[in-house]
Chain A
Amino acid sequence: MSIDRRRFLTVTAASITGSVLAACDKNPQKAQSLLRLAERANERVEDGLFRHSAMNRVSADAPVAGSSFPKYFISPRVPVWDAAANGAWRLEVSGAVRRPLSLSLDELMKLPRVTQKVDHFCVEGWNARATWSGVRVSDLARAAQITPDAQFVDFAGFDKDYHESWDMKSAMHPQTLVAYGMDGYLLTPAHGAPARVHSPVKLGYKNTKYLTRVVFMPVRNGGFWSDQGYEWYAGT
């Protein structure tokens, strides 16, 4: 009896330890369809929680990250717009719109300007503050007169084929900008010059830098990181 009990305990302890250790550093492939199901269910929950009145607020005296603000791009070198080869940079707003726009940087800067100090939430876990200046995506949508077909927006840039598509609600949030200024200066190439998407309502990777095209569309269009297995919604 005593031996049985000891053996039972040993086997119990060993099997618990064994099954936990067997799971270590794994990502069981059989569960992936279940995880995709959960991701789609989460999107509905996140969409339900989303409010245009819920804003990211950073106190006025909070310091900005400044030169410590992390930079990244997918090209081998910092992407710089080649005006000699491609002509002057322009931002195209097209797709499900009645009045497609093609804006020079000057024209973009003449649209109603918003300046906001907000968080930048990276998927890695850090957050960094900066003061961004730019035009609300919702103002661009109004100017281009989007049609009811505009259910999603794709933000594409000239950093290789980088793009990320968004749900309309998040794109129309008042803190979602096409930004051309950072901390009081025009964007530098490291941060996406001449213009980029910036919003605290999505994780950093959804905020396309080196922006050239804003395309309203009836279906979602994936994205650079979303297509590699990161969440497509990635809302905060």
Chain B
Amino acid sequence: MANLVKRNHWIIRLTHWVNVVAVTLMAGSGMRIFNAHPAFARPGETFALNPWEGTPIPAWLTFGQWLGGARHWHFAAMWLLVANGLLYLGFLFFHGEWRDIVPRRGDARDTIEMIKFYLFVRRDHPHQGKHNALQKSAYFAMAVLGVVIVLSGLAIWKPVALWFVTALFVNYKWARFVHFVAMALLLLLALVHVFMVFAVDPYSLRAIVTGWYDRARSPEARNARPFYHLFGPARSGSSSEVPPS
């Protein structure tokens, strides 16, 4: 039996998909800008923290075709990213949904339980709310990375006019490094997120498009690990039961 609930408010759904477009444009054009000087060392200096110093990003991952073109895209799409991000964070704050992603006491233990479940150490899916503990920390980290990316971006866009923002990251060189690393981490989490949607909870696609979610098919109800019980029908009864092998 389907157990339909309205899971995602239209603002969440809208900002999610606008964010896909904005982050794709920003990351693609940003990597093209990076390729004009794919290193973090100042001229005549060395930079120990980047093992690929001097190696450009493959062109097929980039957007904007040339430095000037990519800069125009970057400085236009940044407004889309920031406006969309503010709408999302504002909604989370005023609608109380920040509780779905902000870490709280007990999350560490829940995270360990989720990992144990995914590693087959634990047999049944831990009880969860809207998101499991791993999702919560991933989504929270992505929001924090977004803030870091915008701040470090301001720091390297306006290192003189907004010198006090640049000073948050020590100086221009380090702000540029933080901007790059935060982008790479955000893309990594986004990739993992997309992988897990298809590997664990494809039903959540409906929830992020139409808003509706079938709780009877949640990973907890299916006792789903990545690729395990992916399309299986809902198990009867509660999740505390021992799953049929």
B residues in contact with A35, CB < 8 Å: 72-73, 76
How far is the CB of A130 from the nearest CB of chain B, in Å?
Answer: 10
Which segment, of B37-45, B100-108, B218-226, faces chain A?
Answer: B37-45
**Considering the complex, which residues of chain B in the window 139-190 have a beta carbon less than 8 Å from any beta carbon of chain A?**
158-163, 172-173, 176
**Considering the complex, which residues of chain B in the window 37-82 have a beta carbon less than 8 Å from any beta carbon of chain A?**
37, 39, 42-45, 59-73, 75-76, 79
Per DSSP, chain B at the interface is: helix
B residues in contact with A25, CB < 8 Å: 59-60, 62-63, 65
If A9-B198, A27-B66, A68-B44 touch, whether A38 touches B79 (CB-CB below 8 Å) is: yes
A residues in contact with B60, CB < 8 Å: 21, 24-25
* B68 A125 Cβ-Cβ under 8 A: no
Q: CA A224 – CA B39 in complex, angstroms?
A: 26
Q: CA A70 – CA B62 in complex, angstroms?
A: 26
B33 contacts partner chain A, Cβ-Cβ < 8 Å: yes
B residues in contact with A6, CB < 8 Å: 231
If A39-B72, A65-B42, A119-B159 touch, whether A26 touches B198 (CB-CB below 8 Å) is: no
Q: Chain B: how many interface residues by the 8 Å CB criterion? A: 42
How far is the CB of B150 from the nearest CB of chain A, in Å?
Answer: 15
B residues in contact with A39, CB < 8 Å: 72, 75-76
| Residue-wise interface mask of B (20-45) relative to A, using a CB-CB cutoff of 8 A (1 in contact, 0 not) | 00001000100001101101001111
Q: CA A67 – CA B63 in complex, angstroms?
A: 34
| Residue-wise interface mask of A (62-92) relative to B, using a CB-CB cutoff of 8 A (1 in contact, 0 not) | 0001111110000000000000000000000
* A38 B75 Cβ-Cβ under 8 A: yes
Q: CA A25 – CA B65 in complex, angstroms?
A: 5
Instruction: Name the residue among B79, B158, B198 with the largest chain A CB count within 10 angstroms.
Output: B158
* B173 A127 Cβ-Cβ under 8 A: yes
Interface range for A: 35 or more
* B172 A119 Cβ-Cβ under 8 A: yes
Q: CA A86 – CA B5 in complex, angstroms?
A: 82
A residues in contact with B79, CB < 8 Å: 38
Q: CA A55 – CA B161 in complex, angstroms?
A: 7
A56 contacts partner chain B, Cβ-Cβ < 8 Å: yes
A177 contacts partner chain B, Cβ-Cβ < 8 Å: no
How far is the CB of A74 from the nearest CB of chain B, in Å?
Answer: 16
| Residue-wise interface mask of A (39-76) relative to B, using a CB-CB cutoff of 8 A (1 in contact, 0 not) | 10010001001110011110000000111111000000
B residues in contact with A228, CB < 8 Å: 68
The 4 closest A-B pairs by CB, nearest first: A68-B44, A38-B76, A27-B65, A124-B37
9 residue pairs A–B, Cβ–Cβ below 8 Å: A2-B231, A25-B62, A42-B76, A49-B158, A123-B71, A125-B37, A128-B43, A201-B161, A231-B75
Binding site for A on B (CB under 8 A): 24, 28, 33-34, 36-37, 39, 42-45, 59-73, 75-76, 79, 158-163, 172-173, 176, 198, 202, 205, 231
Binding site for B on A (CB under 8 A): 2, 5-6, 9, 12-13, 20-21, 23-27, 34-36, 38-39, 42, 46, 49-51, 54-57, 65-70, 119, 121-129, 200-201, 228-231, 235-236
Kindly list 10 other residue pairs between chains A and B, CB separation below 8 angstroms, not including A38-B79, A66-B44, A127-B42. A25-B65, A27-B64, A35-B73, A36-B72, A38-B75, A54-B160, A65-B42, A119-B159, A124-B37, A229-B69
